[in-house]
Chains A and B, each alone.
Chain A
Amino acid sequence: MPDWLTHVLVAWSLCTVLGFRYKEFNSENTVIAMLGALLPDAVKIAIPIQFLSGHDPSTMVATIHTPLGSLILGAILSLLFKDKKTVFLFLLLGILTHFALDLLMSYYSGGTYLLYPFSWNQWQIGLISTVDYKISLLTVIISIYVYLVARIKNSIDNS
């Protein structure tokens, strides 16, 4: 999987670009999409649990790192918000960007269970190594470009 900075910046860039045209992609909702982009990796909760308890719960929580598991977790999380429907949809967008990025990875074994529990097939396109930090660098450059374009657009709109 790419690092969390990549996931967060891809979600932010996508929402910012869509925000040029659709007002729903405002700052508040963009943050929710960024949160959604991290949601499938909530599976990493297994690491501190294992560290603290000595028991490895990774197989019990692994389902969170599947589209359906993330979707359910997103639905649970959206119940905490007043704007449940909007929050759920933006969490979903973030989750989708997460799996789109994960799909590009080259795993040493297996891949992502995209259709779990309906299929146990694992999927990977194999374009990027799991340890390659150049994808993060590229994402940072694209995000800076999007940020600058957004600022220029805002200043033009305000003048």
Chain B
Amino acid sequence: MGVKKTVFKTFKFILKNRLLFFLILLILLGALSYYYSENYYLHEEDPSSENFLLNYPDGHVVSLEGWVVDVYPGGFKLYIYHHGKDTIFDVRSNTNVSVGDNVFVKGNLDDEKIITAKKVVLKQYWMYIFLLARSALAILIVIILLLRYWKFHLENWEIVRRK
């Protein structure tokens, strides 16, 4: 009973102490992030950009996202930027793409920088800009509504309702 009471009291104290609770949550989030960054590549369905930019697993199915920088009959050149490293891949595909399009490619890495595409998901340049515009509008709406219904109380360092 005594242990239970102490645990309950400690838990209540942590919950009431904003800074302590904040630090505990931050450490927890940091630990989760570290665990993810150290292990995610072991669980990926296909080698992603980082993985194969380092290893170039020839013959393997890879998936990556990049920007079309050149188009030629039977394929296109795809620009990838990942972790400070930029590379251009030749993608063999009959998909109709244009320079500037954002493309997801899943396919066989036949040679160091040649991919035979099995699946291409195309995000045309205008689609990408339209997506950004819609998302910017969403942020604007949320900010305006937040400022309308909530305010920051400087003395207590907390956000309170305006009503």
Contacts and interface: CB of A to CB of B under 8 A. Distances in A.
The answer to whether A and B come from one shared complex is yes
Interface of A: 3-9, 27-28, 31, 34-35, 38, 54-56, 59-64, 66, 68-69, 72-73, 75-76, 79-83, 108-110, 116-117, 120, 122, 129-131, 133, 136
24 contacts: A3-B135, A5-B134, A5-B135, A5-B137, A7-B138, A8-B141, A28-B150, A31-B149, A34-B141, A61-B33, A63-B32, A63-B35, A64-B29, A64-B33, A68-B32, A69-B33, A72-B28, A81-B159, A82-B161, A108-B119, A109-B44, A116-B36, A133-B131, A133-B134
A29 B141 CA distance: 15
Nearest to A7: B138
B63 interface: yes
Interface of B: 18, 21-22, 25-26, 28-29, 32-37, 39-40, 42-46, 48, 50, 63, 65, 82-84, 104-106, 119, 121-123, 127, 130-131, 134-135, 137-139, 141-142, 145-146, 148-150, 153, 156-163
Nearest to A111: B45
A28 B163 contact: yes
A54 B86 CA distance: 11
B120 to A, nearest CB: 9
B138 A108 contact: no
A8 B163 contact: no
B86 to A, nearest CB: 11
A110 B46 CA distance: 8
Contacts of A38: 138-139, 142
A146 to B, nearest CB: 15
Given A72-B32, A131-B123, A8 B138 contact: yes
A109 B127 contact: no
B29 A76 contact: yes
A109 B37 contact: no
A80 B160 CA distance: 9
Given A72-B29, A108-B121, A133-B130, 17 more contacts: A4-B138, A5-B138, A7-B138, A8-B142, A27-B149, A28-B162, A31-B149, A35-B142, A76-B29, A79-B21, A82-B153, A109-B46, A109-B63, A117-B32, A120-B43, A129-B121, A133-B134
A23 to B, nearest CB: 13
Nearest to B23: A76
A75 B22 CA distance: 8
Nearest to A106: B121
Contact of A59 (B36, B138, B145): B36
A62 B50 CA distance: 14
A59 B106 contact: no
